[in-house]
């Protein structure tokens, strides 16, 4: 008889069966056995007895190969350990009736979302490959039901029990007693001597009338209010009497009388009894141990308590985290010891063996020791004092590539910050590393025992450190660190110092519970004696609010992973694919991985050599398990001064005798050498025997571009072509038709006069006139004018299509909140461009006639073309450079440590304000205040919300806008404002500004947008400097074009004499060897790359006045020869960007001579090196080469056999 494991799947529900059958029976016998046992699973699977469900059997997964019922079990399942899936086809009415109301798809206007459950195991494949739960979830679904749905999906029972209550109102009550009084401005009057103040639930404050001032009377009134009015039992609550003034003149037996009534606080018993219970739990570990499911969003853990269990997805703002209508919930199974289990603090506590670090299937002691000891040393190596932020960010990126599990990345970052991760984070990190180690640890080395995978932890971390050290990054985006830049949120009430439990209000004093805010609002019950009322912030931080709600009062601080920042960052060039960083062969070469450990300070030091080692380092303990040498013990007995941290030991650190350990290790290491597992804890380089080889074999592989060509075997190529043709037919069949483009009346519809102004102020207006002027008569000039508008339409359509793709990419990949905020801007830009393009076509005849009429009224400027041998022209500046206005950022907005404008200001206990990341870095290694040099009693940091509001208002220029708002203008907002786009070297930002705005105020707004980074700068618009005068900015600016914020730097002497510094642009097309046109332009130009297209056509029409308009171009830069006549380069799709950033020694690689657009190899010609050296020093001007070509080959490589594949 054989035992078959059958996983039964019915919609989103799961169950397992163990069926015993003879392997000689048919598959139909297995089918009948499953069918006969379905009634016992009806409740769990949500089945009814109305109809007999249809069952199909599948191999390995629920969508795997279907089994034929007539086949023998021995034929289709030769190994009984293989899993069979029994998939039940449930009818619509059946599933609807069995689904909880809050989880079913609701009709009407109720929103629904899809839930995708991602586990550490399923995350190893791409997340978008994991199927969401089949049943959509209403946004009215509570967080408790959401967790139950996830548990049910994973085969766990849906928890319906009580959730822990965590409220503690003692601190709030104490603050009321000391610093608050009854509000005399309130319409309802209370007698202070006959009114008791009660604080209950989530900081809810109520006034209870009492007959007298005796304690027993107050207690009876409190109990009566809670039980009769609120109908709440006090059996699991703790009633505390705080403050008050006792009347010592009245002597009563056992009962106190008060001159000032005390404050009554009702708290959870769990909070007050935690310390006593914590000491009692050690003896009951085995009995309390159970398996639970932790759930996380990508931002933080989602912990269900009594305070947030009934909050809906909509109220918690979780739909803002949805991507394309799907919320990713990350689920981790974790062993726990019950409600009394707490996360140990400090390095000794964090890395001790505990249930949260264990995998749910169990791990060996050797494996856990290897994991925890390596993690402790890894944490020391990657602290911000030991490593630069850029490399630390690369390490987190590597962990993200390997795990694809944001909770694990967040846990690693918490450890690297020197902080204590919670139990859910520890489990997430450990189990994700387990899944990665499946690829690293060979099964034969661990004898096919999955409980030994953690033994290879050291090798994995060596690989992570090595790859992070050599990570390829985009130098242009190197300043942004998407992982290290994770923001810290503080969900505490900064007056009570307890976490906000659920519903919160954001005030200038920080986050407070709704009950707290209502008690002290203008008509509230209380008022403060020594502080003003807490004003609500003007802009609500939705993430802060969401973190407070999903935490449920369990966290005092939350480090939040930002998936949108990671997704939009272009710092890393690996396309978020670990295969582009680590080859499959690197995982399994254990000797290679051991060498990487030696290179990255993860060597194992023999115990006998620890006296000369620098702590902390890895070593071995008496059992042969990895341990950490942490230093020398002071005043220890001779021979026992080596301090060692052992994860499985009950002590924090042990003083050991290394000579005894060395002797004990000899048989252990001999055994490991025999079974091949010694590589996991192999000693470092100095203990390896190096011998000179007798013979060396060198293998040379041709890696030129031709090796990527097809293999050359006709039969294989014909088969591949047929498959590709079939797929192309499928793609062309399902391709959706494009909707006709129409004007959108919700946005600006320019008329003929506005379009004329747009063309007149266009950066290539001179080229327009020159192209039209090449016509020999009015007929030809009319045709050329038509062609000008055709070229302009091509460029506008390319920009619109780029915006459309960007919007579609956001819809599919970005979170709902990010998509909502960004899509409004992109949609507006796209519609403005679309309306302009359609109106240009609508009035084309009129505009062509107007353009021809302009020929005699406009003087075309010198095109500054260049031919080989000609001298560099001298171009005088149109306006002399004057000093920038002396704006200054208020000094209180600067961080005292970094001197930069604060983004996340926090206040230390001594009252000084700093940028959070700067003061956190300071406090990790200093116990004194940076200001006073006095020892700080606590490292506690409180968010300075008031300061943040002031800085935000200053950066948004609210005070400048207010001057024009108060002028009494009552016209429509669209007619009284103009949308201006500012572009600086760091960012681009659009703002709606008043039309009455002065140019001087425009300068100050630009200064604030750059956070005061540039003490000397200028504003340029359409290649002209905007003066800082009192003239209206609307008279100098066309809103269709950007305003450039250009920093001014010390330049060569030619610049100081009033001459522009020029760069040469060479435009190529069709032929690589000869440029079509070469022309000079100022280095600080504001013209876009698209201007090169009109220069190209201007030259073409000058050569032949009837030249045709070609297909739209793609701009190519940095073209270079990759061998075998293959040319590679960098395509530029956003041609509307300024070309000035390309004027540097990296992009501008040309020279003042006839040359090819394709750069030669650097060692082909020595004179080229000298030429580039002179260019970099400013002796020669920069020469930028651009090729106007077609689209690049598809970035999606065809699945064909290449010559290199054949060689492999």
Same domain, 115 and 173: no
pLDDT value for 1197: 55
- For the purposes of burial, counting CB atoms within 10 Å of the CB of 967, is it exposed (0-12), middle (13-18) or buried (19 or more)? exposed
pLDDT at res. 35: 84
> Who wins on pLDDT, 344 or 383?
383
CA 517 to chain CA centroid, Å, is 32
CA of residue 809 relative to chain centroid, distance = 16
pLDDT band at 16 (very low <50, low <70, confident <90, very high): confident
Please give the share of the chain, as a percent, with pLDDT higher than 90. 37
Do residues 570 and 481 touch, judged by C-beta distance below 8 A? Answer: no
Q: Among residues 142, 1203, 85, 144, which one has the least CA distance to residue 716?
A: 1203
Do 1118 and 1147 touch, CB atoms closer than 8 A? yes
Q: Give the pLDDT band of residue 94 (cuts 50, 70, 90).
A: very low
Count up the domains in the chain and report the number: 7
pLDDT digits (tens, 9 = 90+) for 909-950: 999 999 998 898 888 778 888 888 888 988 888 899 889 999
Instruction: Give the up-direction half-sphere exposure of residue 897: CA atoms within 13 A in the CB hemisphere.
Output: 17
Most confident option among 580-589, 1102-1111, 1178-1187: 1102-1111
Per-residue pLDDT band for 814 (boundaries 50, 70, 90) equals confident
Band (46; pLDDT cuts 50, 70, 90): low
H helix runs in 363-484, sequence order: 365-381, 389-403, 406-416, 423-440, 457-469
Quick check: 1052 pLDDT over 60? no
Band of the pLDDT at 977, cuts 50, 70, 90? confident
Cβ-defined contacts of 642-650 (< 8 Å, 24+): 642/607, 642/610, 642/611, 644/619, 645/347, 645/348, 645/351, 645/373, 645/376, 645/616, 646/369, 646/621, 647/351, 647/352, 647/353, 647/368, 647/369, 647/372, 647/373, 648/353, 648/365, 648/368, 648/369
Q: How many CB atoms neighbour CB 1178 within 10 A? A: 12
Q: Is pLDDT at 376 greater than 80 in this prediction? A: yes
252 with 328, same domain? no
900 and 848 in a single domain? The answer is no
pLDDT of residue 644: 93
Query: Do 1099 and 1155 fall into the same domain?
Result: yes
pLDDT above 50 (res 282) = no
Q: Are residues 1040 and 1075 in the same domain?
A: no
- At 318, the pLDDT band (50, 70, 90 cuts) reads very high
Residue 848 lies in a domain: yes
> If you average pLDDT over residues 85-106, what whole number do you get?
54
CATH number of the domain within which 937 lies: 3.30.40.10
Answer yes or no: is 834 within a domain.
Answer: yes
Spatial distance between the Cα atoms of 496 and 172, rounded to a whole number of angstroms: 5
| pLDDT at position 716 | 82
Q: Is the pLDDT assigned to residue 1191 strictly greater than 80?
A: yes
DSSP labels, 336-392? E--TT--PPPHHHHHTS--GGGS-TT---HHHHHHHHHHHHHHHHHTSTTTS-HHHH
Distance CA 258, CA 1131 (A): 82
- Does 899 score more than 90 pLDDT? no
Give the contacts of 669 (CB within 8 A, at least 6 positions apart): 624, 678
The stretch 1048-1075 carries a mean pLDDT of: 75
Kindly report which listed range (366-370, 522-526, 634-638, 730-734) carries the lowest average pLDDT score.
Answer: 730-734
For residue 302, is pLDDT > 90?
yes
Q: What are phi and psi of 631, to 5 degrees?
A: 140, -175
Residues 1043 and 1062 occupy one common structural domain: no
Q: Which of 1083, 1078, 1043 has its CA nearest to residue 1063?
A: 1083
Give the CATH number for residue 6. Answer: 3.10.20.90
Has residue 285 got a pLDDT over 60? Answer: no
- Name the packing angle between helices 945-955 and 958-965 (round to 10°): 60
Looking at the fold, whether 782 and 676 belong to one and the same domain comes out as: no
Q: Are residues 81 and 120 in the same domain?
A: no
For residue 562, pLDDT beyond 70? yes
7: confidence class by pLDDT, cuts 50, 70, 90: confident
Residues 796, 942: one domain?
no
Tell me if the pTM is above 0.85.
Answer: no
Q: Are strands 84-89 and 2-10 parallel, antiparallel or unpaired?
A: parallel
Residue 1110 belongs to some domain of the structure: yes
Q: Is residue 688 scored above 60 in pLDDT?
A: no
Same domain, 176 and 118: no
Is position 217 within any domain? yes
**Residue 1176 confidence (pLDDT):** 47
633, 652, 680 - which closes a domain: 680
How far is residue 841's CA from residue 702's CA, in Å, rounded to a whole number? Answer: 54
| For range 248-259, the mean pLDDT | 76
Residue 967 — pLDDT band, cuts 50, 70, 90?
Answer: low
Together in a domain, 865 and 913: no
What is the pLDDT, as a whole number, of residue 424?
94
8 A C-beta contact, residue 354 and residue 649? no
> Edge-to-edge, what's the strand order for the sheet holding 626-632?
617-620, 626-632, 642-645, 654-656
Q: In this predicted model, what pLDDT tens digit does every residue of 458-499 receive, in sequence order?
A: 999 999 999 999 998 887 665 689 999 999 999 999 889 899
pLDDT score at 1102: 92
Picking from 766, 774, 785, 854, the residue whose alpha carbon sits closest to that of residue 1094 is 766
Half-sphere exposure of 1172 (CA within 13 A, CB side): 16
Domain termination residue (choose one: 307, 333, 359): 333
Name the helix (H) or strand (E) containing 1018.
strand 1017-1021
**Dihedral angle of Cα 781, 785, 791, 795, to the nearest 10 degrees:** 160
Per-residue pLDDT, 550? 93
Does 970 reside within a domain? Answer: no
Calculate the average pLDDT of the chain: 84
- The pLDDT of residue 241 is 93
pLDDT above 90 for 36:
no
pLDDT interval class at 666 (50, 70, 90) = very high
CA–CA dist 875, 873 (Å, integer) = 6
The better pLDDT of the pair 18, 567 is held by 567
Structure token pair of residue 1128:
């590679």
Residue 511 counted as domain residue: no
CB 365 within 8 A of CB 305: no
Residue 33 lies in a domain: yes
- The pLDDT assigned to 858 comes to 64
Secondary structure of residue 718 in the 3-state scheme: helix
Residue 669, pLDDT score: 93
* 10 domain residue, yes or no: yes
Average pLDDT over residues 1164-1175: 47
**pLDDT > 70: percent of the chain:** 88
Last residue of a domain, one of 301, 333, 365: 333
- Identify the residue whose tokens are 């993860």: 602
Which regions of 269-352 does DSSP assign to beta strands (E)?
A: 290-296, 301-302, 326-336
Residue 967 to residue 944: CA distance in whole angstroms: 33
Say whether pLDDT at 74 is over 50. yes
Q: Collapsing DSSP states into helix, strand and coil, what is residue 963?
A: helix
pLDDT at 462: 95
Containing domain of residue 323, as a range? 110-159+292-333
Kindly state whether residues 1149 and 1193 are assigned to the same domain: yes
Which residue would you say has higher pLDDT here, 205 or 1053? 205
Q: What is the pLDDT of residue 280?
A: 45
The DSSP bridge pattern shows strands 1043-1047 and 977-983 to be: parallel
Closest CA to 948 of 548, 556, 539: 539
Which one-letter DSSP state was computed for residue 257?
Answer: B
């Amino acid at each position: 008889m054989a035992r078959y494991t059958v996983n039964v799947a019915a919609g989103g529900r799961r169950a397992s069966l163990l069926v015993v059958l003879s392997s000689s029976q048919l598959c139909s016998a297995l089918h009948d056995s499953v069918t006969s046992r379905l009634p016992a699973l009806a409740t769990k699977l949500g089945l009814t007895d109305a109809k007999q469900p249809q069952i199909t059997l599948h191999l390995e997964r629920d969508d795997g190969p279907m089994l034929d019922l007539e086949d023998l079990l021995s034929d289709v399942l030769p190994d009984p350990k293989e899993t069979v899936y029994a998939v039940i086809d449930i009818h619509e009415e059946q599933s609807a009736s069995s689904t909880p109301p809050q989880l079913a798809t609701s009709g009407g206007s109720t929103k629904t979302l899809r839930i995708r459950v991602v586990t550490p195991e399923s995350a190893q494949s791409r997340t978008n490959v994991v199927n969401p739960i089949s049943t959509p979830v209403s946004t009215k679904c509570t967080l408790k039901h959401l967790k139950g749905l996830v548990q049910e999906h994973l085969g766990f029972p849906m928890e319906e029990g009580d959730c822990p209550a965590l409220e503690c109102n003692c601190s709030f009550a104490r603050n009321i007693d000391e610093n608050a009084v009854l509000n005399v401005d309130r319409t309802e009057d209370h007698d202070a001597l006959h009114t008791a103040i009660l604080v209950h639930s989530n900081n809810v404050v109520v006034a209870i009338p009492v007959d007298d001032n005796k304690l027993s009377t107050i207690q009876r009134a409190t109990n009566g209010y809670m039980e009769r009015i609120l109908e709440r039992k006090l059996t699991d609550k703790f009633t505390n009497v705080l403050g008050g003034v006792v009347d010592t003149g009245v002597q009563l037996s056992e009962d106190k009388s008060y001159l000032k009534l005390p404050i009554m606080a009702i708290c959870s018993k769990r909070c007050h009894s935690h310390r006593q219970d914590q000491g009692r739990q050690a003896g009951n570990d085995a009995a309390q141990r159970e398996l639970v499911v932790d759930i996380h969003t990508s931002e933080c853990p989602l912990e269900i308590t009594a305070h947030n269990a009934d909050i809906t997805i909509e109220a918690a703002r979780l739909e803002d985290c949805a991507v394309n209508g799907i919320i990713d919930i990350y689920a981790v199974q974790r062993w726990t010891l019950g409600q009394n289990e707490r996360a140990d603090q400090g390095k000794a506590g964090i890395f001790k063996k505990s249930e949260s670090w264990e995998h749910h299937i169990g791990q060996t002691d050797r494996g856990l020791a290897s994991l925890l000891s390596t993690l402790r040393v890894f944490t020391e190596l990657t602290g911000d004092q030991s490593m630069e932020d850029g490399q630390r960010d690369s390490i987190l990126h590597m962990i993200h590539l390997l795990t694809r599990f944001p909770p694990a990345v967040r846990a690693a970052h918490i450890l690297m910050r020197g902080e204590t991760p919670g139990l859910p984070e520890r489990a997430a990190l450990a189990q994700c590393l387990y899944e990665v180690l499946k690829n690293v640890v060979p099964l034969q080395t661990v004898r096919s025992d999955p409980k030994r995978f953690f033994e290879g932890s050291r090798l994995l971390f060596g690989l992570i450190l090595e790859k992070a050290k050599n990570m390829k990054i985009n130098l242009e985006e190197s300043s942004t660190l998407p992982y290290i830049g994770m923001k810290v949120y503080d969900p505490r009430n900064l007056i009570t110092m307890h976490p906000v439990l659920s519903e919160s209000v954001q005030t200038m004093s920080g986050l407070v519970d709704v009950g707290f805010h209502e008690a002290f609002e203008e008509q509230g019950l209380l008022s403060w004696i020594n502080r003003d009322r807490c004003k609500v912030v003007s802009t609500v931080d939705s993430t802060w609010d969401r973190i407070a709600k999903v935490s449920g009062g369990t966290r005092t601080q939350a480090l939040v992973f930002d998936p949108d920042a990671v997704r939009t960052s272009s710092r890393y060039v690996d396309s978020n694919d670990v295969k582009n960083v680590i080859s499959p062969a690197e995982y399994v070469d254990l000797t290679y991985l051991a060498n990487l450990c030696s290179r990255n300070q993860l060597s194992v030091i023999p115990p006998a050599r620890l006296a000369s080692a620098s702590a902390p380092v890895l070593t071995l303990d008496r059992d042969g398990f990895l341990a950490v040498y942490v230093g020398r013990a002071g005043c220890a007995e001779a021979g026992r001064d080596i301090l060692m941290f052992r994860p499985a030991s009950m002590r924090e650190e042990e003083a050991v005798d290394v000579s005894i350990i060395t002797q004990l290790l000899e048989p252990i290491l001999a055994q490991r050498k025999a079974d091949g597992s010694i590589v996991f804890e192999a000693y470092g380089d100095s203990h390896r025997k190096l011998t000179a080889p007798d013979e060396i074999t060198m293998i040379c592989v041709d890696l030129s571009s031709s090796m990527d060509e097809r293999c050359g075997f006709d039969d294989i190529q014909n088969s591949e072509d047929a498959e590709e043709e079939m797929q192309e037919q499928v793609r062309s069949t399902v391709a959706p038709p494009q909707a006709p483009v129409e004007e959108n009346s919700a946005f600006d519809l320019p008329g003929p006069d506005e379009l004329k102004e747009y063309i007149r102020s266009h950066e290539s207006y001179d080229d327009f006139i020159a192209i039209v002027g090449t016509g020999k008569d009015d007929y030809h000039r009319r045709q050329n004018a038509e062609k000008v508008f055709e070229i302009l339409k091509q460029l506008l359509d390319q920009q619109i299509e780029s915006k459309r793709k960007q919007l579609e990419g956001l819809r599919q990949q970005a979170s709902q909140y990010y998509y909502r905020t960004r899509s409004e801007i992109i949609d507006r830009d796209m519609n403005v461009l679309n309306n302009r393009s359609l109106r240009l076509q609508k009035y084309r005849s009129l505009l062509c006639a107007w353009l021809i009429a302009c020929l005699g009224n406009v003087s075309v400027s010198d095109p500054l073309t260049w031919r080989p041998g000609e001298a560099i022209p001298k171009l005088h500046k149109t306006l002399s450079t004057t000093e920038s206005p002396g704006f200054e950022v208020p000094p209180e907005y600067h961080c005292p440590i970094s001197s930069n404008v604060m983004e996340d200001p926090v206040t230390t206990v001594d009252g000084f304000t700093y940028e959070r990341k700067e003061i956190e870095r300071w406090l990790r290694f200093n116990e004194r205040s940076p200001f006073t040099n006095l020892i700080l009693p606590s490292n506690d940091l409180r968010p300075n919300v008031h300061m943040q509001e002031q800085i935000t208002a200053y950066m948004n220029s609210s005070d400048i806008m207010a001057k024009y708002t108060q002028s009494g203008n009552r016209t429509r907002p669209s007619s009284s404002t103009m949308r201006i786009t500012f572009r600086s070297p760091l960012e681009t930002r659009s703002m709606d500004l008043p039309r009455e705005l002065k140019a001087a105020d425009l300068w100050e707004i630009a200064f604030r947008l750059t956070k005061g980074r540039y003490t000397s700068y200028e504003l340029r618009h359409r290649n002209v400097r905007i003066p800082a005068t009192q003239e209206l900015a609307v008279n100098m600016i066309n809103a269709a074009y950007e305003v450039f914020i250009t920093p001014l730097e010390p330049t060569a002497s030619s610049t100081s004499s009033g001459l522009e510094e020029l760069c040469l642009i060479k435009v190529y097309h069709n032929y690589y060897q000869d440029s079509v046109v070469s022309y000079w332009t100022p280095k600080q130009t504001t013209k876009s790359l698209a201007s090169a297209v009109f220069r190209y056509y201007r030259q073409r029409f000058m050569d032949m006045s009837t030249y045709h308009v070609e297909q739209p171009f793609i701009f190519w830069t940095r073209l270079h020869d990759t061998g075998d006549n293959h040319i590679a380069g960098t395509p530029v799709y956003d041609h509307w960007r300024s070309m000035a950033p390309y004027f540097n020694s990296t992009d501008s690689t040309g020279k003042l001579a006839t040359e090819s657009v394709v750069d030669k190899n650097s060692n082909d010609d020595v004179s080229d090196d000298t030429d580039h050296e002179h260019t970099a020093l400013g002796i020669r001007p920069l020469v930028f080469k651009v090729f106007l070509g077609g689209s690049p080959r598809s970035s999606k490589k065809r699945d064909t056999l290449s010559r290199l594949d054949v060689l492999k």
